[in-house]
Amino acid sequence: MTAATRPPGAPGPTGPIVFVLKGYPRLSETFIAQEILALERLGLDIRLFSLRHPTETRRHPVHDEIAAPVTYLPEYLHREPRRVMAAWRRARRLPGYDRAVRVWRRDLWRDRTRNRVRRFGQAMVLAAELPDGVRRLHAHFLHTPSSVARYAATMTGLPWSAAAHAKDIWTIPDWEKREKLADLDWLVTCTRYGWTHLSDLAPHPDKVGLVYHGLDLRRFSPGGGAPSCRDGSDPNDPVRLLSVGRAVEKKGFPVLIEALASLTRTLHWRWTLIGDGPLLADLRKLAAQRGIADRIDWRGALDQQAVLEAYRSADLFVLPSRIGSDGDRDGLPNVLLEAQSQGLCCLSTSLSGIGELIDHLKTGYLVEPGKASALRDALPELICDPERRRRYGAGGEERVRSGFDAELTVRALHDRFIGRSAQPAKEGR
């Protein structure tokens, strides 16, 4: 019997492991769901604790295949006072409660926010409501979920580990990263760019492992269609540009809109954006101001199958990632893996871990982040040259299928959970 078919209460080979997530399920975090399912298939018994309820009505098919039960911690403490008070009565009797309070107070002194108070309240509920026999806490993201996991682990004496990705690495202070890295058992991150930074902050670099997310290639089987010959010369058959990502600053979509608006009107293209987010209205307004709103399709958030179909019908994938004003940035966006798995040529930026996937002029095209002029120069080259797109798309697909198969990458993570020694990250690819 596999973990995916095992009843939620049945013990796994290593005992239950609690995953602490910021929100579940989330359309933008397919890589987390994919990882959970893959680990279940390898025999881990996983229980999910989420800090937030879902805000989206859609789900990916992978969410329905996961067996792990989900417990939602109080998102706002004042809305569940009885639950929080009952948790406090139990937590204060735990062996590490006093130490957890000291750790939290030290954190609160340097981060005097309501969020920091909420994290401790959620940690008490987590510690009080843990299922029997839990062996470990594991947090996805180094910011809020790791704070909750750390406080709860301190209270209970359980070991804890974490996975760091992008925003969580670059938007919290170094003191917080150092102290969490000193406290946890081990941490994995998904780019060499992030691994280098976190290893420098860890008490010993072996605490930090490099494990790429990879892609479930069974879900992303080859598209099978022949690449199009569109070259931007036919107004009735424009080149199809596609972007997938949330409308947030680090995705750089305003830069792309500026670049598209600067292209000659005799070059025929149509851009589709899949994703929602807080800046979507601003993007629509900017496109209207620049006179290109009639050439853009705003699709909103879609499930995985609809996104896959969009990859297969597009000619060029564009992701203009940049560093946000708060320091937030992409790591290695999974949408690039997904697009390349379909043989779709990708145009992106030389930011963070993107260059760990895309070799410029071999498996895709990279430009300097945040530069509309760089995108403006690159877009005509790729729009007008279908053979070049085909060549980069084929190289990208080979790169993903040979080096980013999640069935293989997840085994390195599984080995850590069952206590096998992990190989340190090596230089190069």
Specify the CATH number for the domain of residue 362.
Answer: 3.40.50.2000
pLDDT digits (tens, 9 = 90+) for 25-43: 988 888 999 999 999 999 9
Residues 187 and 249 both lie in one domain: no
Helix (H) or strand (E) holding 332: none
Residues 333 and 364 both lie in one domain: yes
Which one-letter amino acid corresponds to residue 269?
W
* pTM summary value: 0.88
Residues 210 and 348 both lie in one domain: no
Residues 410 and 369 both lie in one domain: no
Residues 413 and 352 both lie in one domain: no
Burial of residue 151 (CB within 10 Å: 0-12, 13-18, 19+) is buried
Contacts of residue 317, defined as CB under 8 A and 6 or more positions apart, other chains included, come to 241, 242, 243, 244, 311, 335, 336, 339, 344, 345, 346, 347
Residues 177 and 244 both lie in one domain: no
Residue 398: pLDDT over 90: yes
Structural domain count of the chain: 2
Q: Is there a domain that residue 222 lies in?
A: no
Q: Is there a domain that residue 177 lies in?
A: yes
Q: Is there a domain that residue 301 lies in?
A: yes
- How many whole angstroms separate alpha carbon 96 and alpha carbon 152? 9
- Report pLDDT for 5: 40
- When pLDDT is averaged across residues 184-188 and rounded to a whole number, the result is 97
Q: What single-letter DSSP state applies at residue 421?
A: P
- How many whole angstroms separate alpha carbon 305 and alpha carbon 342? 13
- CB atoms under 10 Å from CB of 203, counted, come to 10
Q: Is there a domain that residue 269 lies in?
A: yes
Task: Categorize the per-residue pLDDT at 420 as very low, low, confident or very high, splitting at 50, 70 and 90.
Answer: low
Domain housing 134: 17-214+406-417
Q: Is there a domain that residue 30 lies in?
A: yes
Residues 397 and 412 both lie in one domain: no
Residues 389 and 410 both lie in one domain: no
Q: Is there a domain that residue 2 lies in?
A: no
Residues 412 and 395 both lie in one domain: no
SS3 244: strand
Q: Is there a domain that residue 37 lies in?
A: yes
